[in-house]
Amino acid sequence: MDPQLFAKDLAAKPQALTDLASWLAGADPWGVLPMASRFVLVGMGSSHYAAAVAAARLRHHGINAVAELASSDLLPAPDGHTVVIAVSAGGGSRETIAAIDSYLGHAPVVLLTNTPESDLAARVEGVVDMRAGDEVGGVACRSFQHTLALLLALESRLARPSLDVVGLLERCAVASADLLARREDWLPDVRRLLVGPQGTHVVGPARRLSSAQQSALMLREGPRLPAYACETGDWSHVDVYLTKTTDYRMLLIAGSRWEDELLRWTAERGSTVVAVGADVEGAAYSLRYAGDSDDDVRLLSEVLVAELLAADRWSVPG
């Protein structure tokens, strides 16, 4: 893992999104998917973060879909109508391999991966290449974004044909380029406000909880900073208590209808809030970017804020 190469991977996001859009315009990545009426998505870490949001979106549209940690001892039992979608960027996590092994011979398994040439890929019924390229920094940043993009393509195929994933990716390329181009303007303020002695809390709405989870992971994985994720509505039930006793610093992934209660508590207790994707009253800083009024653009783009903060802090000696 290397901070300079991680920054290089982040800088390549706009072009990678553009390339993915061009490929999807003429490809059917989920053409390998067998017929099914039930979908079980399994994965670990950021793969699970993306899968959980994707499964929730599919359920919202009436599709029987669940996402489970591959490490679970309570994986759903297969039936004659189940297809398992295993999500693994590297194609080699031992928990995901074990989950796949438990399903082989009982249900078709399709692998969504950034390494379609892996040994695991040869054992399943179909492979979907997320096409994130080589992440030279050693951190799954583009592959997380591409996982979400391919799962949105699955949603378009199964439940929401009106979802133009190609156009969405083109808009996300613009959003990412905007954040990258202006980072010298916003990053010093975000760094000053969010990096504190007791860590950073990232809070986001349930429909984009993966953004909060992945943002916190990026701060932990690269610069090894303490960082924690929470859902906006649930925050008032489980994390609010820390605002009374700690130097509480929050990166708020904006867009939840439950923000009013959260902001009441943070204002009363003098907590620091940095908002991303909207102008939030009471926030110490609100970071806007191109296309952030589109919820799907937010889903695929907003993690870049924490990634750039992570790259910045990771490069600091000691």
- What are the residue ranges spanned by the domains of the chain? 3-170, 182-314
pLDDT (tens digit per residue) in 53-102? 999 999 999 999 999 999 999 999 999 999 999 999 998 889 999 999 99
Q: Is pLDDT of 318 > 60?
A: no
Mean pLDDT of 212-225: 97
Q: Which two tokens stand for residue 124?
A: 């399943």
Architecture of domain 3-170 in this structure: 3-Layer(aba) Sandwich (3.40)
The amino acid that residue 318 corresponds to is G
Q: Are 249 and 194 spatial neighbours (Cβ–Cβ below 8 Å)? A: yes
Q: Do domains 3-170 and 182-314 have the same CATH topology?
A: yes
The pTM of the whole model exceeds 0.95: yes
pLDDT in tens, 159-214: 999 999 999 999 999 999 999 999 999 999 999 999 999 999 999 999 999 999 99
DSSP assignment of 235-282 equals: HHHHTGGGGGTS--EEEEE---TTHHHHHHHHHHTT-EEEEESS--TT
279 phi, psi to nearest 5 deg = -85, 110
Name the CATH architecture for the domain at 182-314. Answer: 3-Layer(aba) Sandwich (3.40)
- Under the banding of pLDDT at 50, 70 and 90, the label for residue 317 is low
